[in-house]
Every structure is written in structure tokens, then in C-alpha cells.
Chain A
Amino acid sequence: MPLTLESVRQDFPLIVGKPDLVYLDSTASSQKPQAVIEALERFYRESYANVHRGAYSLSLAATDAYEQARHTLARFIGAQPEEVIFVRNTTEALNLVAYAWGLHNLREGDEILLSEMEHHANLVPWHLVAQRTGARIKAIPLTPEGRLELCALDELLTERVKVVSLVHMSNVLGTVNPVAEVARRAKAAGALVVVDGAQSAPHMPIDVKALGADFFAFSGHKMCGPTGAGVLWGRAEVLQELPPFLGGGEMILEVHVDRSSYARPPQRFEAGTPPIAEAIALGAAAEYLMGVGMEQIWQHDRALVEYCLKRLDEELPEVRTFGPRGKDRGGVVAFSLGSLHAHDVACALDQYGIAVRAGHHCAQPLHRKLGLASTARASFYLYTTFEEVDRFIEGLKQVREFFKDWL
């Protein structure tokens, strides 16, 4: 029987087990379906051994399962398996690119182009590399609605820009950036293009070839997979030329006491024992999501966010929301309630079993731009229901009443 979004809640044991919980923090990390939990357990119970080492059947079976997961993830994003590198998460993927590519290709006076809506994971690695290379960092500004100011792009894309690293979907504003267009213009200007897909890969169909980027990074734990496994996709020609990031076992061709040569991609970038079980379970997560349908998940998120924003606008004028209104907006609603601090709001919502995040969401430059130290944030996923959005709205009304003297 094909999966439907109405039935998916039954696939998530934590959600079934906590009927009073309204989990609205999938942007931070998603809940896990039974298929993923089972894949993790089954592998440990039945097939566990290290990969790419043993000559014995059990290790070969583990290697097959691990490589099968690589094929699945490749299919998930429209890539070739040898372009899929298993890493810990988006942060590690972006560090890999910044260090392995950046340290070898950036010189003093070169420019790294980011945007004002980046997550710290796509800022700090570049800061570290800029400090070492003398490269400078610039940022694409934002429009008041929270979109990229694309008019500024041509002026920013000088010949000094060697890399453009950009978030696909903002974890605060929900903005889906026109990455393909930026990539086309950046490539024309001779820059490498890196995409932070941490929020987009779990929520919409991804075709890395159509995006036209050189690297695409995402985490498994935000897309129903376990923690500890994520993916860096790299264009084959780029990976071929890329030096290693971490050295150690598995990533070599030949090692002498004083020198070594490296394996081909993707093994070149997977030093040491990888997160085997986690990668296999991430493969199960990708299968699960493709079974539901990524386009269906995106439409579901879209419908929820439209419904939520409409009700907030009409019924809670004290609530200010951030991010664009339109089809380029995913299922993320960052908001503030009057002059209340986000912690006070989130803590009060928690008393009603409503889990939202409060803070800067690892996007301090963006919050500085918004003129706020922090926001509260509700986010949706395939298991989120309209009834939960209703409970969120009703909860916010209670919170407004509770804090009426504070607003």
C-alpha cells in the first residue's frame, strides 16, 4: 500500500508514544520512522562488521550494505555513487570543503562570497580558512522580506571571488534561495559553488545536476536518519582534483613511513572507520522519504506554513513573523511575540507540550540584521498535522493571555 501523509505519523514510534506532544522542531532534527530504527538495529544484530577490510563474508556483507546506502543517497539527489561522501553532518561536510578546497586554492586578496542568512556552519569554517589564507569574506545582502538581494550579485561577483557558498533553504526565514541561478552566474564568473542543503534535502526533491553547484552538503538526522551520518556530494571532476581533508585508514593507496598516496574519491575523503550503521540507516531514511515522495512532502510543508502564517496574521497581531511570503518559503516560522523574549515564549509553550526552538538558531548575523538577539521558531515536517498547527496557535493565544501585562 502506498504511503500517504495521513498515515505517516503511524511510522514514527516517538510520535505515536507521545500523543500530547506537538513536535515543531524538525528543522533542528527530525523524528525517526520505524524503518530507520529497524535498519540500525538489524544491521547491528545481523550483519555488523567493519567495511572495506575483511576477507570474510560478514565484512563483505557489511561493505555491500554500506555501499548500497551510498547508491541510495546518490539516487536521492540525482548523483553518481562515487560522488557521495559519507560525513558526520552538514557542518563536517562544509568544513571538508573549506579546508580541503579552500586552504589549497585561496590566496590573499581572494574573496569568499556567502550571504547574510547563513547558518554558523557555513560561516565559521570559512572564517577559519580566511584567517589562514588571507582571503576576505563578503556577503550577499538580504531584502526586507528575507530574500537574497540578487541585484547586488553582479557587483559582488568580481574576478576576486573564488568561491560562493550559499544556503539552499534558510533555517530561520524558510527562504528557498534560487541556487541554480546564483550557481549559473557564479560559475560564469569562475567561482566554485557550494550549497548548504541541510534544510532543503529533507524537505524537497533535490537534483544536484540541475542545481549546477560543485558541492552539496546535508545531514542525515534532519531527514529521518540517525545522528552521525550526513553527505557531501561533490561533482566528480572537482572531487578528482581535491586533496584529502582527514588522513588515516581507508583513504590511502599506499603508505610509507614518510609519505602516502591517496585513494580515489569517495574513499579519499572517508578516513577511518566510517559511521557504518548510521550510513546504512540513512539509506533506509532516504528510501522511506522517496517512498512517501519528496514532492508530496514539500507540498505538505507548504500547505502547513501557508495555513500557519494565515492564522497568525489574522488572529495574533502581536506575533511578528520573519521570512518571505510566497512559493519560495518552506515550513519554517520564526516569530516573536510582542517584546517578549523568545525563551519566555518557548518555555511557556512547552507547558502545553508544544516544542519550539528559541534562540539565534546558529544564525547570529541574520538575527543582528533582524535587530533581535533571538526568535522562537516552529517548523514542520511530513508528520506534522494541521491539528498540531491549531494547537500551536491556541497555545500561543494562551501564552499571550498569560503574558498580557508583559507585552
Chain B
Amino acid sequence: MKLLEELYKEILLRHYKHPLNFRTLEGASVKMPGVNPSCGDSLELYLRLEDGRIAEAAWQGQGCAISMTSASLMSELIKGKTPPEALELTRKFKAMIVDGAEPAPELGDLRALAGVHKLHARVKCATLAWNTLEEALKE
């Protein structure tokens, strides 16, 4: 259980039970659905862009502790960022999760998810929100 003890800490429990920005967003500039077809987990990401920045981010969906925490923290972190800055964070998050790269300091609390890299089956859970963000910013 060592792997799980390192991963399933207080911070995951908090976001799992009380996810941040968990709502719909009136007047969103972009509304993007994301789904993990293999497990059926899904979310909807809402972004309101203003003056070239992500003024507001919100989301709704269902998923495991890892995907909920990832979406919750992401929605908080990208607020106020420009789309290129948000994409750079996406790259750094995926490098940590997919490639096992050293967690970048600017990922903040998301660094708590670094252990997912060792749980291959959960990589898709951690990256669902971020893949959805990438799709949303393409629009």
C-alpha cells in the first residue's frame, strides 16, 4: 500500500469531497466535454476568456479521486493565465504524470499527484481534465 499511502493524502480527500469551481459557468466562452471512454468518467469544462486571459474556469463531472483532484486543482491554477501559459502548465503536468519528470514548482498542489506516474492504469484519470483543457483552448 506504500504507493497509495504516498498518493492518497489529505489533499486528495479534500478535493474529492469538496472540489473547487465545481459548477456550470454562465456566459462561458468555451464549453468542452471530456470523457474517458474506457471507464466512462466524464466532465465538462467551462472557460470564460477576457482580455486574452482565462478570467474564470469551472467544471462539472464525475470521476475517481485522482481525476476529481486533478480537475479541481487545474481549474484553480489556470485562472488568470493566458492560453499559452495554460498550455505550458498542461505540458508540465503531463511530463510529471506521463513521463515521470520532476514536478515543476509552478504546478503547486498538483505536485501531490506525481505518484500517479507509477500507477499506469491511472494516468488517464489524472490527465482527463488537462486533455479537455487542451481541446478547449484549440477552439
Seen from chain A, the residues whose Cβ lies within 8 Å of a Cβ on chain B are 341-344, 347-348, 350-352, 358-360, 364, 367, 373-374, 398, 402-403, 405-406
Contact = CB atoms under 8 A, between A and B. Distances in A.
Interface string B1-36: 101100010000100110000000000000000000
Contacts of A364: 40
Interface stretch (B72-80, B98-106, B119-127): B119-127
Contact of A343 (B1, B17, B64): B64
Given A360-B39, A373-B40, A406-B16, A344 B1 contact: no
A405 to B, nearest CB: 6
A341 B38 CA distance: 14
Given A347-B119, A406-B16, A373 B41 contact: yes
Given A343-B122, A344-B64, A402 B1 contact: yes
A359 B65 contact: no
B4 A406 contact: no
B40 A358 contact: no
A22 B13 CA distance: 28
A367 B40 contact: yes
B131 interface: no
A113 B64 CA distance: 34
A406 B40 contact: no
Interface string B25-66: 000000000000011111000000000000000000011111
Given A367-B40, A405-B13, A348 B125 contact: no
Interface residues on B, range: 20 to 34
27 contacts: A341-B63, A341-B64, A341-B65, A343-B63, A343-B66, A343-B67, A343-B121, A343-B122, A343-B125, A344-B64, A347-B4, A347-B119, A347-B122, A350-B121, A351-B3, A351-B4, A358-B39, A359-B39, A360-B39, A364-B40, A367-B40, A373-B39, A373-B62, A374-B40, A402-B8, A405-B13, A406-B13
Given A347-B119, A347-B122, A402-B1, A359 B13 contact: no
Nearest to B42: A373
Contacts of A360: 39-40
Contacts of A406: 13, 16-17, 65
A319 B1 CA distance: 21
Contacts of B42: 373
Given A343-B41, A374-B40, 18 more contacts: A341-B63, A341-B65, A343-B63, A343-B64, A343-B67, A343-B122, A347-B119, A347-B121, A350-B121, A351-B4, A359-B38, A360-B39, A360-B40, A364-B40, A373-B42, A402-B1, A402-B4, A402-B8
Nearest to B1: A351
Nearest to B125: A343
Contacts of A350: 121
Contact of B4 (A342, A348, A359, A405): A348
A310 B90 CA distance: 47
A75 B16 CA distance: 53
A350 B122 CA distance: 12
B61 to A, nearest CB: 9
Contacts of B3: 351
Contacts of A373: 39-42, 62-63
Nearest to B41: A373
The 4 residue pairs across chains A and B that have the minimum distance between CB atoms: A341-B64, A343-B64, A360-B40, A359-B39
Contacts of A341: 63-65
Contact of A344 (B38, B62, B65): B65
A156 to B, nearest CB: 27
A370 to B, nearest CB: 12
A233 B99 CA distance: 46
A398 B1 CA distance: 10
